[in-house]
Amino acid sequence: MTTKVVLATHNPHKVSEFQQIVALTRPDLEVIGYDGPEPVEDGVSFAENALIKARAAAAHTGLAAFADDSGICVDVLGGSPGIFSAYWAGQKKDAAANLELLLDQLADIADPHRAAQFISTIALVTPEGAEHTVAGVWPGRLATAPAGGHGFGYDPIFIPDGQTAGDERTAAELSDEEKQSQSHRARAFEAFVPLLKTL
């Protein structure tokens, strides 16, 4: 018997990514996209915004809902773009413009000072009102130019830590399997698995 759980996003990339990750640990769970009204994300942290989205989806559907709020945090920018990652170049959520602006802001920053982390916080809200959050961090640094055709958002300029020197790839150059095993969402989801057992 399949149990449905709502992923509180209108982003098909995230739905697909989470469907693949969930299938590895809970094949009996069917992740469905959220088709309700988009809540105002007025929290000041990834956790607050994830809870806002999960609460809205649980209330709208009557099902358990989870939401991911994530972004890229650049050390030299004091942790920005952070919660503003999707809107860095304006309210249109233009991924290409966001990436271009971030690269422009870091144009004169040398490689040793280009450290960055992708952070993902997952919130789970049940119809009964139980709430939980977990987080995952994917450390790395930013490239000086985009590379790779996989992924989305800032993936083409993010070089994850832990690769062989001289053979480093951006997140957009990793295979789906590689990304799913090490990304910030994968790390957050690993901490999230025990919560899924309650559904």
Is 94 known to be catalytic?
Answer: no
CA distance 77 to 80: 5
Q: How far is CA 141 from CA 20, 116, 164, in A?
A: 26, 5, 14
Query: In the beta sheet, which residues pair with residue 3?
Result: 29
Q: With beta carbons less than 8 A apart as the criterion, state whether 157 and 146 touch.
A: yes
CA distance 89 to 97: 6
Say which of 28, 35, 69, 155 is annotated catalytic. Answer: 69
Q: Residues near 159 by Cβ (< 8 Å), separated by ≥ 6?
A: 140, 141, 142, 143, 168, 169, 170, 171
Residues that are catalytic: 69
